[in-house]
């Protein structure tokens, strides 16, 4: 069976099997935050079936599938690791990519032993940019240590977090960097085959990446060492979770798998598998070219290198920014975003809905994995959604749980049965009803303690974070 060829009944899991993206309006959180920019489009978005969460145009929200403008793009790091080709307007031709220095890193990686490349990534301090921030070198070593004859590399291009569009722009404007990064990682861990799993909500990226892969194949760029194929999803947020993604690639229902076994040991089709986010892989050509020390020199604390941030359309200057870890959240709001278009800042949702909301009094916090965790928030994938003070906190909670309930994969009880109840409770509260606080707390505690994956746990962490940071406002409901 080919990857993604579906076993019977699997289609029912997905939201967008027969739904052209051009007809969709976006009901993602970034568009919700900016709903006053285009109230009619927002009404269309929340009235349509199926609901679509995030078209990756959060800089122009509320957005839809028909309209597309190019966002502001800027690099504010001492050295630009990721965005040089994007800043140049995009490179979609292999010859141009090579003229601009592309391909040199893959060639020089091949002059090193695979172990030397693994060590380089380890010493660079690269951590996965998909959300968890797990050290790449440790994950690579785990795959290297497996004695299997077949290993896989999977590019996670599902970018499901509402509010993030950085992977979309990398895929659309610098597809060969994604491919080169994948080839470097595959060489280091001994993977001979790879898949790019791309969400259906990004039709332009699908076209660009597919053409880039054709160009790479025609030029014999990666072969015979490495075969890379594009697989486009059918609309399900949970496919971004790596074990659900592997089930999707295998043509199964994309439900989350129990761990152990870890996928570095037993992943795609039972073989050792390395899964990385697009942005993580895009850092590799620069690391190989400039060396581990140059990368480790960027950033701060235990978060090294640069990070892409996606700022939503409530900022005066929304767009895509490359920053060094260590920038303060206040500078992200004031210097990059240049403040809000409307109202005062109520809070900043960094890294998607599965983390928390940073209240204005904590904006001195610096961007770093541990530093964000210390305030019950996260770096996540770098989506930055500003909420203005015209949005009650309970309506934000209601949006998050509506999203969470719809995207639950159904594999474990606290999330499958708990999130719809939580969504109903907070929906009613947002409409003015009082909330059964004890019941709410019991469901959140169960979600936090017993969820199988980061979706359920993240929703619980979000609830705990807003309860901590917006206690006064929530008193009306929680007493």
**What is the binding site for ligand SF4 (CB under 6 A)?**
238, 256, 408-412, 415-416, 451-453, 455-456
Angle between helices 114-124 and 136-144 (to 10 degrees): 160
> Is the C-alpha dihedral spanning 401, 403, 404, 409 positive or negative?
positive
Nearest to 324 by CA among 373, 384, 366, 383: 366
Q: Which residues lie closer than 8 Å to 95 by C-beta, 6 or more apart?
A: none
For residues 238 and 396, which CB has a smaller minimum distance to ligand SF4 in the complex?
Answer: 238
Contact between 130 and ligand FMN per CB under 6 A:
yes
> What residues between 220 and 279 interact with ligand FMN by CB under 6 A?
238, 240-242, 275-277
Query: Of ligand SF4, ligand FMN, none, which one sits near residue 156, judging by CB under 5 to 8 A according to partner kind?
Result: ligand FMN
CB of 162 to ligand FMN, least distance (A): 10
CB of 453 to ligand SF4, least distance (A): 3
CB of 241 to ligand SF4, least distance (A): 7
The count of residues in the chain is 479
- CA-CA distance, 214 to 208, in Å (whole number)? 10
Are the beta carbons of 304 and 62 closer than 8 angstroms?
Answer: no
DSSP letters for 313-347: TTBSS-EEEEEETT-BHHHIIIIIS-SBSSS-EEE
CB of 455 to ligand SF4, least distance (A): 4
For residues 238 and 474, which CB has a smaller minimum distance to ligand SF4 in the complex?
Answer: 238
Contact between 427 and ligand FMN per CB under 6 A:
no
Contact between 383 and ligand FMN per CB under 6 A:
no
Please give the structure tokens belonging to residue 382: 């770098």
CB of 276 to ligand FMN, least distance (A): 4
CB of 70 to ligand FMN, least distance (A): 23
Contacts of 335-339 with CB under 8 Å at 24 or more apart are 335/76, 336/74, 336/76, 336/309, 336/311, 337/311, 337/384, 337/386, 339/315
Query: Of ligand SF4, ligand FMN, none, which one sits near residue 194, judging by CB under 5 to 8 A according to partner kind?
Result: none
Query: Of ligand FMN, ligand SF4, none, which one sits near residue 63, judging by CB under 5 to 8 A according to partner kind?
Result: none
Nearest to 341 by CA among 372, 314, 301, 373: 314
Choose which of 107, 134, 289, 374 interacts with ligand FMN (CB under 6 A): 134
Choose which of 75, 85, 141, 156 interacts with ligand FMN (CB under 6 A): 156
Choose which of 61, 160, 319, 351 interacts with ligand FMN (CB under 6 A): 160
CB of 416 to ligand SF4, least distance (A): 5
Nearest to 78 by CA among 371, 304, 363: 304
Query: Of ligand SF4, ligand FMN, none, which one sits near residue 280, judging by CB under 5 to 8 A according to partner kind?
Result: ligand FMN
For residues 276 and 304, which CB has a smaller minimum distance to ligand FMN in the complex?
Answer: 276
For residues 284 and 429, which CB has a smaller minimum distance to ligand FMN in the complex?
Answer: 284
Contact between 81 and ligand FMN per CB under 6 A:
no
Please give the structure tokens belonging to residue 336: 């990059």
Contact between 448 and ligand FMN per CB under 6 A:
no
Query: Of ligand FMN, ligand SF4, none, which one sits near residue 250, judging by CB under 5 to 8 A according to partner kind?
Result: none
For residues 247 and 313, which CB has a smaller minimum distance to ligand SF4 in the complex?
Answer: 247
CB of 110 to ligand FMN, least distance (A): 22
Please give the structure tokens belonging to residue 120: 């380089």
Please give the structure tokens belonging to residue 117: 């490349």
For residues 77 and 452, which CB has a smaller minimum distance to ligand FMN in the complex?
Answer: 452
| Total binding residues toward ligand FMN, as defined by CB under 6 A | 22
Contact between 455 and ligand FMN per CB under 6 A:
yes
Are the beta carbons of 155 and 194 closer than 8 angstroms?
Answer: yes
- CA-CA distance, 55 to 160, in Å (whole number)? 9
Contact between 132 and ligand FMN per CB under 6 A:
yes
- CA-CA distance, 45 to 53, in Å (whole number)? 9
Backbone angles phi, psi at 124, to 5 degrees: -70, -20
The three state secondary structure string of 89-148 is CCCCCHHHHHHCCCCHHHHHHCCCCHHHHHHHHHHHCCECCCCCCCEHHHHHHHHHCCCC
Query: Of ligand FMN, ligand SF4, none, which one sits near residue 416, judging by CB under 5 to 8 A according to partner kind?
Result: ligand SF4
For residues 105 and 248, which CB has a smaller minimum distance to ligand FMN in the complex?
Answer: 248
For residues 134 and 449, which CB has a smaller minimum distance to ligand FMN in the complex?
Answer: 134
- CA-CA distance, 276 to 131, in Å (whole number)? 10
For residues 320 and 412, which CB has a smaller minimum distance to ligand SF4 in the complex?
Answer: 412
Q: Greatest CA separation found in the chain?
A: 66
Nearest to 348 by CA among 311, 387, 374: 387
CB of 153 to ligand FMN, least distance (A): 11
The residue ranges that bind ligand FMN (CB under 6 A) are: 128-132, 134, 156, 158-161, 238, 240-242, 275-277, 280, 453-455
């Amino acid at each position: 069976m080919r990857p993604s060829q579906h076993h019977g009944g699997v289609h029912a899991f997905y939201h967008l099997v027969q739904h052209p993206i051009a007809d969709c309006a976006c009901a993602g959180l970034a568009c919700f935050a900016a709903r006053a920019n285009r109230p009619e489009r927002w009404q269309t978005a929340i009235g349509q079936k199926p609901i679509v969460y995030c078209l990756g145009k959060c800089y122009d929200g509320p957005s839809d599938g028909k309209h597309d403008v190019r966002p502001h793009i800027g690099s504010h790091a001492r050295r630009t690791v990721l965005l040089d080709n994007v800043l140049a307007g995009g490179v979609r031709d292999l010859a141009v990519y090579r003229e601009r220095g592309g391909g040199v890193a893959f060639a020089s990686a091949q002059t090193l032993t695979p172990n030397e490349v693994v060590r380089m990534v380890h010493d660079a301090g690269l951590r996965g940019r998909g959300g968890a921030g797990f050290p790449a070198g440790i994950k690579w070593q785990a795959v290297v240590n497996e004695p299997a004859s077949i290993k896989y590399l999977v590019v996670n291009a599902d970018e499901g977090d509402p509010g993030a569009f950085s992977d979309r722009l990398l895929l659309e404007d610098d597809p060969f960097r994604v491919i080169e990064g994948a080839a470097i990682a595959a060489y280091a861990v001994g993977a001979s085959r790879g898949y790019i799993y791309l969400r259906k909500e990004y039709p332009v990226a699908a076209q660009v990446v597919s053409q880039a892969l054709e160009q790479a194949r025609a030029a014999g760029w990666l072969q015979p060492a490495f075969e890379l194929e594009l697989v486009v999803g059918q609309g399900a947020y949970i496919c971004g979770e790596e074990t659900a993604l592997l089930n999707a690639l295998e043509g199964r229902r994309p439900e989350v798998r129990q761990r152990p076994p870890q996928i570095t040991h037993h992943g795609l089709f039972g073989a050792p598998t390395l899964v990385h986010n697009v942005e993580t892989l895009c850092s590799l050509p620069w690391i190989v070219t400039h060396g581990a020390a140059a990368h480790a020199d960027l950033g701060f604390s235990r978060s090294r290198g640069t990070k892409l941030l996606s700022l939503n359309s409530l900022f005066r200057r929304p767009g895509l920014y490359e920053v060094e870890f260590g920038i303060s959240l206040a500078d992200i709001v004031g210097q990059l975003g240049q403040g809000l278009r409307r109202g005062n800042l109520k809070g900043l949702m960094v890294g998607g809905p599965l983390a928390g909301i940073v209240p204005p009094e904590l904006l001195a916090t610096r961007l770093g994995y541990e530093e964000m965790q210390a305030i019950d928030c996260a770096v996540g994938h770098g989506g930055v959604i500003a909420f203005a003070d015209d949005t009650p906190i309970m309506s934000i909670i209601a949006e998050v749980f509506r999203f969470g309930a719809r995207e639950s994969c159904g594999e474990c009880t606290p999330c499958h049965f708990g999130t719809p109840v939580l969504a109903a409770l907070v929906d009613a509260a947002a409409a003015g009803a009082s909330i059964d606080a004890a019941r709410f707390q019991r469901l959140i505690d169960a979600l936090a303690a017993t969820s199988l994956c980061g979706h359920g746990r993240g929703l619980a962490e979000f609830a705990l974070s807003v309860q901590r940071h917006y206690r006064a406002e929530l008193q009306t409901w929680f007493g």
